[in-house]
Amino acid sequence: MLDTAHLLFPTTFPDISRAQLETLQVNLGYLCNQTCQHCHVNAGPKRTELMQKETIDQLLAYIDTHEISAIDLTGGAPELNPEFRYLVSEARQRGVRVIDRCNLTVLEEEAQEDLAAFLAEQRVEVVASLPCYLKDNVDNQRGKGVFETSIAGLKRLNALGYGQDGSGLLLNLVFNPQGATLPPAQTALEADYKKQLWESYGVRFNQLFTITNMPISRFGSMLLSKGEFKPYMQLLKASYSSCNLATVMCRSLISVDWRGYVYDCDFNQMLGMHLETDSNERPHISDLMDIDLQRLPIRTGEHCYGCTAGQGSSCGGALGE
């Protein structure tokens, strides 16, 4: 796989610093039942990196001593980590909001038949990947049969109350462009998704999040192989909007990798750009118990233009809508 990291530095991206920490974004490992083209963590069925219970207990200790309002669980498929349910249950007992970045097809995997019911019981917010409402587009991007299995997963969640008015069970979908383009306007695309999924499959959901593809890892390698890396970077930089700087996700979260090391965001994690502290060593979550992160500088690179281009992009969708 071609490495794009050396093309992202030095950077002209503006200096930014941390605001109040609200969210721990936790990568539970790179094991996944899918191998998607746009995946920025190179996840797949053969990956063996998984967060261990000892590290999860360190995360819980951090939550116990800080005002953390949410944990955002990612992978890979985070649900395939054997300690996933332990972490979810412990966080919910502490009153912490839990977000599960779910690829939907994992709900139909063997030995995961009760996963959707567990998520509903724990009142977990599901953020589900569905890069299009058309079968061929999804299968081209994520693999043959993924669309039909994803629809089955959505129906399973709907039957438990997810996405239904008044249930309080949030089901949000995620759109990623298939190629080297920016996402379309989030509000208009959400209306199309809701119409098509309801009329064709009887599926409901709450919100659609549009997320810009980052020019790193698997997607960056694809751009390089097609000669599209430089034009894509030019597009991101030309579409830069300074009004998005105030609400980029890295200002209020930290990203924790499967070993417990800490970064400003999930993308910096994949580039090995650890969070900077006074010691300037790669910090572990257990090293940060007594450190105030507010106002610390955030490490940036050319990839950061992906979060500030156009309507902006974060794990919660567009920043400008």
C-alpha to C-alpha distance for 126 and 171, rounded to whole angstroms: 5
Residue 163 forms part of a structural domain: yes
Q: Give how many domains the chain has, as a whole number.
A: 1
User: Among 6-15, 23-32, 209-218, 245-254, which is the least confidently predicted range?
Assistant: 6-15
| Assigned token pair, 137 | 């587009």
User: Among 118-122, 212-216, 277-281, 295-299, which is the least confidently predicted range?
Assistant: 277-281
C-alpha to C-alpha distance for 273 and 217, rounded to whole angstroms: 14
Contact assessment for residue 263 and residue 255, using Cβ atoms and an 8 Å cutoff:
yes
What values do phi and psi take at 119, rounded to 5?
-60, -40
**pTM assigned to the model:** 0.92
User: In the predicted model, is pLDDT for residue 5 greater than 70?
Assistant: no
**Over the stretch 171-205, which tens digit does the pLDDT of each residue have?**
999 998 878 899 999 999 999 999 999 999 999 99
By C-alpha distance, which of 121, 119, 76, 77 is closest to 99? Answer: 119
Residue 56 DSSP class = H
| Assigned token pair, 63 | 């939550």
What CATH number is attached to the domain comprising 292? 3.20.20.70
CA 183 to chain centre: 16
**Over the stretch 10-29, which tens digit does the pLDDT of each residue have?**
788 999 999 999 999 999 99
Residue 226 forms part of a structural domain: yes
Which amino acid is residue 24, in one-letter code?
L
Residue 314 forms part of a structural domain: no
Residue 94 forms part of a structural domain: yes
Contact assessment for residue 59 and residue 70, using Cβ atoms and an 8 Å cutoff:
no
Residue 315 forms part of a structural domain: no
Residue 87 forms part of a structural domain: yes
| Assigned token pair, 125 | 């917010």
Residue 128 DSSP class = E
The contacts of residue 113 (CB under 8 Å, 6+ apart) are: none
Phi-psi map region of 287: left, alpha, beta (phi>0 left; psi -120 to 50 alpha): alpha
| Assigned token pair, 184 | 């379309």
Residue 313 forms part of a structural domain: no
Domain that holds residue 55: 5-308
Residue 139 forms part of a structural domain: yes
